[in-house]
Amino acid sequence: MTTPANLKYTKSHEWVKQEADGTVTVGITHHAQEMLGDLVFVETPAVGRRLKQGEQCAVAESVKAAGDVYAPLSGEVIAANAELADTPEKINADAYTAWMYRLKPDDPGELAGLLDAAAYQAIAKAEKH
């Protein structure tokens, strides 16, 4: 699985896609879902919730582990992917299309502090060894 170059990443394995309207879409990376295994439950943050960068805001559970999901940016949750409640395995099928939530950032400048694909790949590769 490649790490899409058009996305930004966090050290805690979230991906961030900047949308044309200034909002961002957030999900967990292929590496994260691979480490967790077959997902059986996903909890997304409530629409309207205000998040601080780095705050735990969602959960992805598999048969073998639960993983916290952290806010890559500060802002307000404007949408949550309700489909994941019934079909969490969509993240296993394609982590980069199965988004978890959308955020309206308080400070779009925070995006600049996130990792590019090459930097994230280096972190993921180091964890595998």
Give me the number of domains the chain comprises: 1
| H or E stretch at 41 | strand 39-43
Torsion angle (degrees, nearest 10) of CA 105, 94, 36, 72: -10
Residue 129 inside a domain? The answer is: no
pLDDT in tens, 17-29: 999 999 999 999 9
Residue 128 inside a domain? The answer is: no
CATH of the domain at 93: 2.40.50.100
Residue 96: which domain range? 9-122
Residue 16 inside a domain? The answer is: yes
User: What pLDDT tens digit does each residue of the chain (129 aa) get?
Assistant: 689 999 999 999 999 999 999 999 999 999 999 999 999 999 999 999 999 999 999 999 999 899 999 999 999 999 999 999 999 999 999 999 999 999 999 998 999 999 999 999 999 999 876
In angstroms, the CA 95 to CA 128 distance is: 18
In angstroms, the CA 115 to CA 129 distance is: 20
